[in-house]
Structure 1
Amino acid sequence: MVHQYQITGMTCGNCVAKVKSALLMVPFVTEVEVSKELSSATITMDKHISLNTFQSALDPKYQITALSHSEMTEQAKSWFETYKPVLLIFIYIASSTLLIQFTNSVFDWMQWMQYFMAAFFLVFSFFKLLNLKGFAESYQMYDIVAKRFNGWAYIYPFIELALGLAFLLNFNVVITNSVTFLVMGISIIGVLQSVLNKKQIQCACLGAVFNLPMSTITIIEDLLMIGMSVWMLLYHFYN
């Protein structure tokens, strides 16, 4: 079973590590995800564990409380309200790149995909870089590489930025799309695990600027980039 709690008193990354370590020591707890940005902890356990047990395991300066039904209801905004930022970004990117093609005499689908991917990576890396530390903390909660190598969470936004520039400048098609396929292919593993396990954690796709929950929207984003990179590679080799 998975339960979400609010934790106060966390002020730094070291606090997050201490809280996570303490909660993992509680018997029957199998997994813990802690977010300083959200002041929350998502705990997976084999059997019900009382709140007092968790509080006893923590340093007194950290206070843990169960997320009440009213708080959960307040957070459960409409689907559109929740994902409005990312939906608007997709609309802007799709519209602007389509308009570029309408200025050409012939609509070039490959060029449209190239510009779409360029804009996608440039915009999404921008939001991640606005609060690099906040993004890294969120990303480490679910990415399979960042969980083991914290530095990857800090490097990842710059990889997206580099990919965006590579697509914009029409840099080597094979290298750019191969790297995109590899990076997004690895990224989607952690996303799928989180969504399938129904973990209530923050999606780091727009950094720490917006509080977006992990969902199928995140899967679609990654699959879209994977699909486009594969399509462009196939087009390059067979045309």
Structure 2
Amino acid sequence: MLAKASLENKTAVLYRMVMPSHTCPYGLKAKSLLERSGFEVEDHHLTCREETDTFKREHQVETTPQTFVGDKRVGGYDDVRRFLGKPVNDPDATSYRPVVVLFALTALMAAAVSYAVASTPFTVRALEWFISFSMVALALLKLQDVEQFSTMFLNYDLLARRWVPYSYVYPYAEGVAGLLMIAGALSWISIPVAFFIGTVGAASVFKAVYIDRRELKCACVGGSSKVPLGFVSLTENLMMVGMAIWMLVSRLMSTVA
């Protein structure tokens, strides 16, 4: 009945908070979504706390904004999305989006720098920059909340579970190794650090996921991550190991030459 009413009556009544010091972002999003979906929005502003509380009490709702179509209450912003057949974000759902976006952007950054330096995005150095840029970006996400990262990291890292301070050291080590690899400096520090933390990380992920069959969240993009521990986490660590080996071989070959 609600869907039928929405098709026959393309007018929506929206009540949202618009105060001198605060405009509800969900109210703005609900209004925009309704208008983009072809609705004429009758926009009512709740301009003070008393007015907002009175509205909630009269309609027996706990939040605003609230949308009405015909004589039916649709509800808040998420309810409007459901009403219009749009997907609704689940904050607890696992998602690979953070790492996909991160790796896509670091790959584009590496290609852009390669183009600026060598007039082509496709160089061996671009691949090296991609891995080192990714290391720095991942370290940055972890360092936003080291305490939360360390808590999640302790769920599966073999070394951190034996020596807790390693869970705090790890993101700094990853960031420093990545920065040194970008600069091509102090390889005697960056190579062993990347190889060590990558090897321990790969072994930890492999044991937790493929041997113990545990279902965990990965701390790779920070402590609030919804990324499942598994292939992506293993890839991150193997990339560091591969980069360390590649740089070591390259340095040895250049020394011999």
Decide: shared fold, TM above 0.5: yes
AA aligned opposite 1:156 = Y
Counterpart residue number, 1:152:
166
Q: What are the equivalent positions in structure 2 for 1:108-147 lying under 5 Å apart?
A: 109-147=123-161
Shift of 1:172: 2.1
Larger RCO: Structure 1 or Structure 2 (Cα < 8 Å, ≥ 6 residues apart)?
A: 1
1:93 corresponds, among 100, 106, 114, to 106
Counterpart in 1 of 2:190? 176
Unmatched runs of 5 consecutive residues or more in structure 1: 1-73
Letter in 2 for 1:223: L
Aligned to 1:238: 253
**1: CA distance, partners of 2:91 / 2:140:** 26
Percent of pairs with identical residues:
23
CA distance in 2, matches of 1:132, 1:172: 26
Residues in 2 aligned to 1:182 and 1:232: alpha-carbon distance in whole angstroms: 14
> 1:150 deviation in Å?
0.9
Q: Which amino acid aligns with 2:98?
A: P
The structure with more radius of gyration: 2
Aligned residue in 2 for 1:227: 242
Q: CA deviation at 1:75?
A: 9.0
For the Cα contact (< 8 Å) 2:111–2:122, is it kept in 1?
no
When the two structures are aligned, how many residues end up with a matched partner? 163
Q: What is the CA RMSD across the aligned residues, in angstroms?
A: 2.2
The SS at the match of 2:160 is: coil
Which residue type is aligned with residue 84 of structure 1? R
Code of the residue aligned with 2:158 in structure 1: it is I
State the alpha-carbon separation in 2 of the partners of residues 75 and 108 from structure 1.
38
CA contact (8 A) 2:135 2:175 kept: yes
1:185: how far off? 0.6
Per-residue CA deviations over 1:39-64 (Å, capped at 9, x if unaligned) read xxxxxxxxxxxxxxxxxxxxxxxxxx
1:173 is aligned with what amino acid?
Answer: S
Q: Distance in 1 between matches of 2:162 and 2:226?
A: 24
- 1:113, 1:228 within 8 Å by CA — same for their partners in 2? no
Alignment match, 1:207:
222
- Pairwise CA distance, 1:140: 0.7
Q: 1:190 aligns with which of 182, 196, 204?
A: 204
1:190 counterpart letter in structure 2: S
SS at match of 1:115: helix
Alpha-carbon separation, structure 2, partners of 1:125 and 1:170: 18
SS of aligned partner of 2:161: coil
One-letter code aligned to 2:200: I
Q: Contact conserved, 1:130 with 1:209, CA < 8 A, in 2?
A: no
- For 2:122 and 2:189, locate their aligned partners in 1 and report how far apart those are by CA, in whole Å: 21
Three-state SS of the structure 2 residue aligned to 1:82 is: coil
Length-normalised TM-score, structure 1: 0.62
Cα offset, 1:168, TM superposition: 2.6
Q: Which runs of 5+ in 2 are unaligned?
A: 1-89
